[in-house]
Each structure stands twice: as C-alpha cells, then as structure tokens.
Chains A and B, each alone.
Chain A
Amino acid sequence: MVDLKTLDQMQEDELPKKNKKGPWTPGDNPLTITSLMDALTIILIFLLKSYGSDPMQVPQKKNELMVPKSDTMSNMVECVDIQISRTTIVVKGKKIVGVNNGSVSSSDTPDGFTIKSLKDALDEIRQKEIEAKGAAAGEQAFQGDAFIAADTNIPWKLVNQVMMTCTRAKYIRFSFAVVKTRGG
C-alpha cells in the first residue's frame, strides 16, 4: 500500500534532519577573525594616512564653506589659517566675527577696509609666534604667511577686506585653499 503524505507532513519530517547538529556554540567551530583583522588593519592604515597628510584641515560644509576647485598641484604648508564661511570668519578655529550676506557689519570695519577684531586676533597670534622663537630671532624668522579658505560664493570685497587686514597685521603672503582636481 502506498503511504500518501500531505506536503505539510513531508516538511515536518524534513525539519529535524536539517537541525541535526543543533545550534552553533563557540566551542564547536571557533569563528575565524584573522581575515577580518587583516581587512580592518588595512582600512586603519589608509585612514591614518589620509588623516595625517595635510598640516591643516579645511572642513567642507554645504551652504557654509565650500572651497572652490582648482587645477593647482601645490601643497599647503603650516601657517595661520583663516576661514571665511557664509556666516563667520574663523582664525585658527576661533570664531572672530560674523558674516551676513557676504559682508561684515560696518561697526566691525570702522575705516571700510580693516576688520578690527580680525586684526586684533592676528596681532595676538603674531606676537605669540615671535615670543615662542625669542624676540629678536622671532622677528627675523616671522614669515608672514596666511592661509585663506573662503567659500566659493563669497564676494571678492570680503576676501579683499580680510587680505587688507592681514597686510596691516604684517601677514603679507597669502595662499588660497582650493580643492585639487588633479593629483600631485
């Protein structure tokens, strides 16, 4: 006689066979994590390299500070960094003055060119730099390099005001931050 089984019965019969070994336990077959370790170590080295290659960081923030693109191949060196975003001017990570519609308020620029609070901050940084190297030698060794990272949509007038203020604080050479479009 043929034993006829329904589909459900056949599935029930098969189920215990599949789980014959029972649930996995650490003692049965230890997890091999050596290959995972290799992958993580490579990622870590890559990230550490990209973290420490540039002397200064320029945070890219949408609608705040997007540095323009350029085909330059020159690399930055460490110097005083000034960030001109759509809302603030920041010197060495410290907020100095607010920006509204691409300009600073007239009370911050008494003569129309020099941004007073920016000049005070730059004077202080310059003084500290000179003192760190010793007064006489420091004055000689002071290079007067400033690194300006400005947003693409900032009008030239504001960048020019920052540059003029820098010049008055004896920072006379400028490097503009750009996003490289070709390697080097």
Chain B
Amino acid sequence: MAKKKMAVDEKLDELNLMPIMNLLCLLIPFLLLSAQFIQIGIVLVDTPRQSKSQNQKKDENQKSLGLTINIKQDGYDVTTKSGGSACPQRAASNQVCIPVTHAGGKKVYNSSALRKFLYDKFYKPHYKNNSLDSSKDAPKAAGSFSDWGKVTIVPEDTILYETVIETLDAARELPPEAKNEIQDIKGGTLACVFKKKPGDKEWQLEGNCMFPLVAVGRP
C-alpha cells in the first residue's frame, strides 16, 4: 500500500534546458566568427632545380619534351626543348603564341585558349605513347618522353600571382572536348587531383591529367 502511494505522489519535472541553451548561444557566435565558408584547395608546384634533379635519375637516352610556358606582358609563349617555339609562324613575326585580350580596360590572359593549345599541340598527338601511371622500371613505348606530364612555367616579374594560378590550372587539366576525343578517360571525369596520405612523403596523382607536374621559375 505504501509503495503505491509513493508512486502517485511522484511528479516528473520538466528538464531544465536553460544552461544548455546559454552554452549554445555562446558557442554559435564564436564559431560563426571563426568558421570558413569557402573551401581552400591547393595547387602543387616544384622548383625547376628540384624537378631537374628528379629527371636525371631517369633514362638519359630517352628524349625529353622540355615544355615551357613563358608568361609575358603580351601573352603566353610556348616553347619546347627540341624545336624552340611551339608556334613558329607567330614567332617569326615576333608574336607570342596566345596574345592577351582586353576587356573593360583590363588585360586578360586567355587561359582556356592555352589549355586547348597544349591539348591539340602536345597532349593529343602523344598521349597514346605516354602515360603518367606507368611504373619507373616499365619499358617505355617508342616515341615516349622522359618528362611526360611536366611543364615549366616562367612568369615575368611583373605578372600578377592570379595569372600564374590560371596558367597552372590551364596546364593541369584537359579541355572539355577531351571527353569525346579520348577513349580511355578514367571515370568519365576531367578532374586531376593530387592526394597525400598522412605520413607519406610523395603526392599521388588521381584522375585525368594533362601536364600536372609543374615547375615554376627560371630553369
């Protein structure tokens, strides 16, 4: 009887949420102030010196492409180790390969034209003989380059940092038409991603890349 009476007298009080509410109201403004709503990514680059020392380890009999993009005041100039300028006709008249355009009184570097130029002139004719995936010891196909996937970008001193980043993007990824023209596009995406696991020393490449291994600066 006594037990039954006690159960009747018990009243459940509502949970007091006020202290938690106070805590949340303090935490949210603090986190809102320190939160980053933009996503920061990275573009990997090497110095020409580092890139050169890695090249020396490879087969010295193999030919090298020596692709170089010079960012000049009047546009992009593309050269190779073997044949000099990649656009000999324009070079003969002292013109760069891809000239700058002007929009709203501002100089605009045509990075999409550069991407297409690199794809048409260097990537498409040679990609079948070259691969970024093949192991170092695997025999190379005839016509392959020892420095496939590598490019040196040489900006002039006054070029803005933003233009250099646009150039890096243009060299790294394939243009949209590659999706239809290249049969073995992995995963159907044109993204080229560098990944590194914690503790690993080397970065790994994933996806479909054009010339992702960039050295910036004068060789």
Interface residues of A (CB under 8 A from B): 30, 33-34, 36-37, 40-41, 43-44, 47-48, 50-51, 54, 56-58, 60, 67-77, 143, 147, 150-157, 159-160, 163-164, 167, 172-180, 183-184
Which of the segments B34-42, B81-89, B116-124 contacts the partner chain? B34-42
Report if A163-B21 is in contact (Cβ < 8 Å); known contacts: A70-B165, A180-B40: no
Cβ–Cβ < 8 Å partners of B5 in chain A: none
- In the A-B complex, the 3 residue pairs with the smallest Cβ-Cβ separation, listed nearest first, are A47-B31, A175-B42, A157-B157
Cα distance, A151 to B162, chains bound together (Å): 8
Contact A68–B161 (Cβ < 8 Å): yes
Known: A44-B31, A153-B160. A180 touches B39 (CB 8 A): yes
Chain B 191-207, CB-CB to A under 8 Å as 1, else 0, gives 11111101001000001
Total A-B residue pairs with C-beta atoms closer than 8 Å?
162
Give the residues in chain B near A43, CB-CB below 8 Å: 28
Q: Does B164 sit at the interface, judged by CB under 8 A?
A: yes
Question: Quick check: A179 and B196 within 8 Å, CB to CB?
Answer: no
Interface size class of B (residues with CB under 8 A): 35 or more
Q: Is A160 a contact partner of B217 (Cβ separation < 8 A)?
A: yes
Q: Quote the shortest CB–CB distance from A37 to chain B (angstroms).
A: 6
Whole-angstrom distance between the Cβ of B72 and the nearest chain A Cβ: 12
13 sampled A-B residue pairs with Cβ under 8 A: A37-B17, A41-B24, A44-B28, A47-B28, A48-B31, A70-B169, A72-B42, A155-B158, A156-B159, A160-B216, A173-B45, A177-B42, A184-B191
Q: Which stretch, B46-54, B61-69, B134-142, B143-151, touches the partner chain A?
A: B46-54
Q: Shortest beta-carbon distance, B94 to chain A, in Å?
A: 23
Q: Which residues of chain A are near B216, meaning CB under 8 Å? A: 160, 163, 174
Instruction: Give A36 to B32 CA distance when docked, in angstroms.
Output: 18
Confirm or deny: B7 has a beta carbon within 8 angstroms of a beta carbon on chain A. no
- CB pair A156–B156 under 8 Å, yes or no, is yes
Contacts of A159 in B (CB 8 A): 161, 164
Q: CB distance A174 to B44 under 8 Å?
A: yes
Q: Are A47 and B42 in contact (CB under 8 A)?
A: no
Q: How far does the Cβ of A172 sit from chain B's closest Cβ, in whole Å? A: 5
Nearest CB of chain A from residue B53's CB, rounded to whole Å: 10
Please report the C-alpha to C-alpha distance between residue A177 and residue B46 in the assembled complex, in whole angstroms. Answer: 14
Cβ contacts under 8 Å, B194 to chain A: 74
| In the complex with contacts A43-B28, A47-B31, A68-B165, A75-B41 CB distance below 8 A | yes
Whether a CB of chain A sits under 8 angstroms from the CB of B103 is no
**Known contacts A36-B21, A37-B17; A58 and B40 CB within 8 A of each other:** yes
Residues of the A chain whose Cβ atoms lie less than 8 Å from the Cβ of B160: 152-156
A174–B191 contact, CB under 8 A? no
Query: CA separation between A154 and B71, bound complex, in Å?
Result: 15
Given the interface pairs A152-B162, A155-B161, A159-B164, the reply to whether A40 lies near B28 with Cβ below 8 Å is yes
Q: Does B27 contact A (CB under 8 A)?
A: yes
Give the residues in chain A near B168, CB-CB below 8 Å.
70, 176
B43 at the interface (CB under 8 A from A): yes
CA distance A156 to B167 in the complex (A): 13
Is residue B77 within 8 Å, beta carbon to beta carbon, of the partner chain? no
Cross-chain contact of B42 among A151, A152, A167, A176 (Cβ < 8 A): A176
A157 contacts B158, CB within 8 Å? yes
Given the known interface contacts A70-B169, A172-B47, A184-B191, the answer about A40 and B41 at a Cβ–Cβ threshold of 8 Å is no
